[in-house]
Structure formats: structure tokens, C-alpha cells
Homo-oligomer: A and B are copies of this chain.
Amino acid sequence: MGVDCHHTESAQPGLEGAALASAVAAAASKCERTRERLTPPRRRVLELLLEADGPMKAYDLIAAYGQDGEPAKPPTVYRALDFLERLGFAHRIESLNAYVPCRMEGTSHRAAFLICECCGTAEEFEPDFSPQFAAAEAAGYAVRTVTLEARGLCPACKVEAEPIAT
């Protein structure tokens, strides 16, 4: 998806096997604690996000949904994504119309990504929004969520784009 280069897109290798099961189990237990229900469609979409090597488009998820090859109906996946976002298990990347599993522990009301315009990977990082928050509150705003999306080149693609020079 959106791959402009020939890199093997391995910057964010997907989970498999035990690691995948463990990540899903962690989400499940977190749900139990908060009396939320990790129902089959929600679990399935979370699995697909965790297995993926990079951001997944909604219709990629729809196509990949059925283990037998049967696609899901769009609302099935969009509802699951709403749930996963609400619980902080996934983030939507607005500038890509795509979704990633949350790679950070902790609070879910902020997310920041470094998006490579060459290979399409999106790396989540822990932002320090304090200056922006302060500015917003100073202006009288009550901030609920903040998202930051920085676009550019990841280390690998950057090297390739500048073969020799500075």
C-alpha cells in the first residue's frame, strides 16, 4: 500500500504465533478489567492489525477478514475499528486513511506518528504535547484528543534518497 520504493517493508514486522496470541490475550484481559467485550469481529480485526507489516486500509481489513476468504461487510470492520480506537488498541492515521495497532502502553487520547512517504511505514512515538496543550488551554480550549502526523523519510529510505551527498 502506498509503497513508492522497493524496500522489503519490514520496519514494522507483524506479529505471529505466540507473540500474536499474547498481544490479543493482553487486550482481552484489559477488556475484562473494564467490562468491555472483545467480541469475535473485534478480536478478528485486532488480529489483522497486529499481523500486518504496516498500516492497514479499512478495505484491506474487509478483504482479509474471513479465514475462508470471504470478505466482511464494511460496517462490521468499521464498528470494530471504532471499538478498538475507543479502547486505545488501535489508531487511525488520518493522512493515510489507514489503521495501526497501538504500539504504546498507556493513555489513548494522543497519538503521534512518523510516516515514511517512501515505504509507507508508520512508527508510533511518544509525543510531548505539553507546549501545544499549554497553548490550547491558554486560548480557552478544552482539549480532548491530539493527533500528530509527521511525514518524511524513514532512516532506510533517507539513505537511499541521498546516495552520496550530505
**Contact call A123/B94, Cβ cutoff below 8 A:** no
Chain B residues with Cβ below 8 Å from A95 are 94, 147
Q: How many copies does the complex hold?
A: 2
A26 CB within 8 Å of chain B: no
CA distance in complex: A146, B148 (Å): 7
Give how many A residues have a beta carbon under 8 Å from the other chain's beta carbons. 33
Interface mask (A91-112 → B, CB under 8 Å = 1, otherwise 0): 0001100000000000000001
Chain B residues with Cβ below 8 Å from A145 are 150-152
**Contact call B150/A132, Cβ cutoff below 8 A:** yes
14 pairs, CB–CB < 8 Å, chain A vs chain B: A114-B139, A114-B143, A117-B144, A127-B131, A131-B131, A141-B154, A142-B153, A143-B150, A143-B151, A145-B152, A146-B149, A146-B150, A146-B151, A148-B148
**Contact call A136/B158, Cβ cutoff below 8 A:** no
CB distance from A70 to the nearest CB of B (A): 30
Beta-carbon contacts under 8 Å, A32-68 to B: none
A163 CB within 8 Å of chain B: no
